[in-house]
C-alpha cells in the first residue's frame, strides 16, 4: 500500500515535472569508507582530496561524516566522505548545527530531482574553513548560515525582481546539492548569511527556514498593526509564527488540537486567544465570533480544516498556506462575498534570512528545540516526521 508521504511526494514530483531518475547536482561527490556510528553505512566512489586552501591553511580532515538517503524512500545512512575543495564562488563550512525540516522528506523521495545518494538539510549554521576562487565576501573563520535557498543564476526574471528564492535555475541546499546533515558542507557564497557570534547555533539554525518562512510571509502579507492574525498549528512553524505575529503588533489567535496544556503553551508564546479544534467542530465560526481574522496562517498539514478556516476571515482577509496539506477545497462563495484570497510565500533568500535572524535576536524569539547528534540523524528525521517533536529537531556536531 502506498504511504501518504509517498503519495504526496509523487504528487509534488509531478508538479515540478521531476522523476526518480533525475541526476543530482550534489556538491559533495559520493565517496566512501565504513562508519562505526549507530546508523548503517554505505559504500561510494572516491574524489581527489586537496590540502592547500585559499584564505589560510587549515587543519582539515581527509574525510568527514554525513548522513545520506541512499535510495528513494530509504532511511538515512551514515558514511565517511572525502573532503572536497570549494569551487568557484563556494566556501567550505564546518557545520555546527542543522535543523531538521518536514521538507527534508522531499530529498528522501526525490521531489526536487536531486537524485541519490543525497545528504539532506537546509537549516545550516557553521564556520567557514576554506574559500574558493572569486570569493571576496567570506573569509576563513566567518560564521555563516544558509537555508532552503542554496543559489541562483541572477539572470532570470525572478532574480531581476530580487526574488532569488524563486529563480528558474535555483539551487536548493539538501535537495539539489548536498546539505547540512554532515560535519562539513559546501555552500555557494550568494546563499550565505552572516550569523552573530553570540547566538546558539542549535536554536538559530531553524530560523533559516522555519523561522524565516513565517517571518517573511507574515511581513509580506501587508496586514495593518492591531489586526487579528490567526495561526493554525502549534508545531515548529506555528510556535514561531505566534511569536512573530505578537511582536509585529497583531492580536494573535492560536488554532490547534489539545486542551489546557496546549492553550497554556500558546498563550506563553504570545497568543491572545485559543481555539481548540478537538472541542470546536467549526474553527472558522469560532474565529468569526472573535471578529474574524485579517490573516490566517496555516502551518500544519491539515487539509480538512481549510474550508472552515477560510470562512473565519473578515472582509478582504487572506488565507496564507505555509504547510503542504495536499488537495484542499476552497469556498469561492466566501471569496466572492468578502473578497478573501488564498496565497502562499516561497520561503526567502539570504537577505531575508539575515532580517529574520536580526529580528529574532532583537525580540528574543524563543525557538524551542530537541537536539540529536549526527549519529542519530535517522532518529531525528523520524522524530520530526512523526509530528511529536517539541518544537523543532536539530542535529548538532558536538
Per-residue 3-state assignment (H helix, E strand, C coil) for 291-310: CCEEEEEECCCCHHHHHHHH
Using a 10 angstrom Cβ sphere, with 0-12 exposed, 13-18 middle and 19 or more buried, the burial of residue 291 is: middle
- Give the chain's end-to-end CA distance (angstroms, integer): 39
Residue 145 in grid coordinates: 548560515
pLDDT at res. 206: 99
| Band (91; pLDDT cuts 50, 70, 90) | very high
| Band (181; pLDDT cuts 50, 70, 90) | very high
Comparing 47-56, 105-114, 134-143, 363-372, the range with the smallest average pLDDT is 47-56
| Band (17; pLDDT cuts 50, 70, 90) | very low
Q: Are the CB atoms for 59 and 91 separated by under 8 Å?
A: no
pLDDT at res. 37: 39
| Band (6; pLDDT cuts 50, 70, 90) | low
Percent of the chain with pLDDT over 90: 80
pLDDT digits (tens, 9 = 90+) for 266-320: 999 999 999 999 999 999 999 999 999 999 999 998 899 999 999 999 999 999 9
Whether omega before 117 lies within 30 degrees of 0, making that bond cis, reads yes
pLDDT at res. 379: 99
pLDDT digits (tens, 9 = 90+) for 147-178: 999 999 999 999 999 999 999 999 999 999 99
Q: Which of 255, 249, 254, 256 is nearest to 227 (CA)?
A: 249
Query: Does residue 97 surpass a pLDDT of 90?
Result: yes
pLDDT at res. 59: 87
Written as one string, the DSSP assignment of 9-38 is HHHHHHHTT--TTPPP--SS--------SS
Task: Tell me the mean pLDDT in the region 109-117.
Answer: 97
pLDDT at res. 328: 87
pLDDT at res. 12: 60
Query: Does residue 21 surpass a pLDDT of 50?
Result: no
DSSP designation for 165: G
pLDDT digits (tens, 9 = 90+) for 317-341: 999 999 877 788 888 888 999 999 9
Angle at 136 (CA atoms; ends 131, 141), nearest 5 degrees: 50
pLDDT at res. 259: 85
Query: Does residue 118 surpass a pLDDT of 90?
Result: yes
Q: Give the mean pLDDT of the chain.
A: 89
| Band (10; pLDDT cuts 50, 70, 90) | low
Distance, in Å, from the CA atom of 79 to the CA atom of 60, rounded to the nearest integer, reads 18
pLDDT at res. 302: 87
pLDDT digits (tens, 9 = 90+) for 60-76: 999 999 999 999 999 99
Comparing 258-262, 330-334, 363-367, the range with the smallest average pLDDT is 330-334
Percent of the chain with pLDDT over 70: 85
Comparing 91-100, 189-198, 254-263, 376-385, the range with the smallest average pLDDT is 254-263
| pTM score, whole prediction | 0.89
Comparing 25-34, 50-59, 206-215, the range with the smallest average pLDDT is 25-34
Please give the distance of CA 146 from its chain centroid, rounded to a whole number.
10
Task: Tell me the mean pLDDT in the region 89-95.
Answer: 99
Query: Does residue 23 surpass a pLDDT of 80?
Result: no
pLDDT at res. 322: 95
Helical axes 210-219 vs 236-247, angle rounded to 10°: 40
Amino acid at each position: 500500500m502506498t504511504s501518504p508521504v509517498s503519495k504526496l511526494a509523487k504528487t509534488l514530483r509531478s508538479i515540478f515535472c521531476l522523476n526518480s531518475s533525475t541526476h543530482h547536482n550534489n556538491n559533495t561527490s559520493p565517496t566512501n569508507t565504513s562508519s562505526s556510528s549507530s546508523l548503517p553505512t554505505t559504500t561510494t566512489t572516491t574524489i581527489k582530496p586537496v590540502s592547500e586552501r585559499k584564505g589560510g591553511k587549515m587543519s582539515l580532515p581527509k574525510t568527514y561524516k554525513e548522513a545520506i538517503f541512499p535510495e528513494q524512500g530509504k532511511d538515512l545512512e551514515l558514511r565517511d566522505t572525502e573532503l572536497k575543495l570549494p569551487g568557484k564562488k563556494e566556501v567550505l563550512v564546518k557545520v555546527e548545527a542543522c535543523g531538521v525540516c518536514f521538507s527534508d522528506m522531499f530529498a528522501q523521495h526525490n521531489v526536487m530531482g536531486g537524485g541519490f545518494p543525497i545528504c539532506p538539510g537546509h537549516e545550516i549554521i557553521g564556520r567557514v574553513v576554506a574559500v574558493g576562487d572569486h570569493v571576496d565576501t567570506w573569509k576563513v573563520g566567518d560564521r555563516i548560515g544558509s537555508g532552503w535557498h542554496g543559489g541562483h543564476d541572477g539572470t532570470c526574471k525572478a532574480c531581476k525582481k530580487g526574488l532569488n528564492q524563486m529563480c528558474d535555475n535555483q539551487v536548493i541546499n539538501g535537495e539539489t546539492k548536498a546539505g547540512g546533515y554532515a560535519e562539513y558542507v559546501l555552500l555557494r557564497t550568494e546563499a550565505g548569511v552572516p550569523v552573530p557570534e553570540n547566538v546558539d547555533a542549535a536554536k538559530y539554525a531553524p530560523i533559516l527556514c522555519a523561522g524565516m518562512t513565517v517571518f517573511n510571509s507574515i511581513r509580506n502579507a501587508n496586514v495593518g498593526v492591531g489586526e487579528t492574525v490567526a495561526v493554525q498549528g502549534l508545531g515548529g512553524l506555528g510556535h514561531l509564527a505566534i511569536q512573530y505575529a505578537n511582536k509585529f503588533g497583531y492580536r494573535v489567535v492560536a488554532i490547534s488540537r489539545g486542551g489546557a496544556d496546549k492553550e497554556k503553551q500558546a498563550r506563553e508564546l504570545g497568543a491572545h486567544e485559543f481555539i481548540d479544534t478537538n472541542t470546536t467542530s467549526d474553527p472558522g465560526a469560532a474565529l468569526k465570533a472573535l471578529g474574524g481574522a485579517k490573516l490566517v496562517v496555516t502551518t500544519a498539514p491539515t487539509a480538512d480544516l481549510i474550508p472552515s478556516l477560510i470562512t473565519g476571515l473578515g472582509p478582504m482577509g487572506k488565507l496564507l498556506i505555509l504547510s503542504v496539506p495536499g488537495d484542499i477545497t476552497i469556498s469561492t462563495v466566501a471569496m466572492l462575498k468578502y473578497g478573501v484570497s488564498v496565497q502562499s510565500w516561497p520561503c526567502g533568500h539570504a537577505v531575508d534570512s539575515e532580517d529574520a535572524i536580526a529580528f529574532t535576536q532583537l525580540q528574543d524569539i524563543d525557538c524551542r528545540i530537541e537536539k540529536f547528534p549526527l549519529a542519530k540523524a535517522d532518529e531525528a528525521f523520524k522524530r520530526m516526521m512523526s509530528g511529536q517533536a517539541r518544537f523543532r529537531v536539530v542535529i548538532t556536531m558536538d
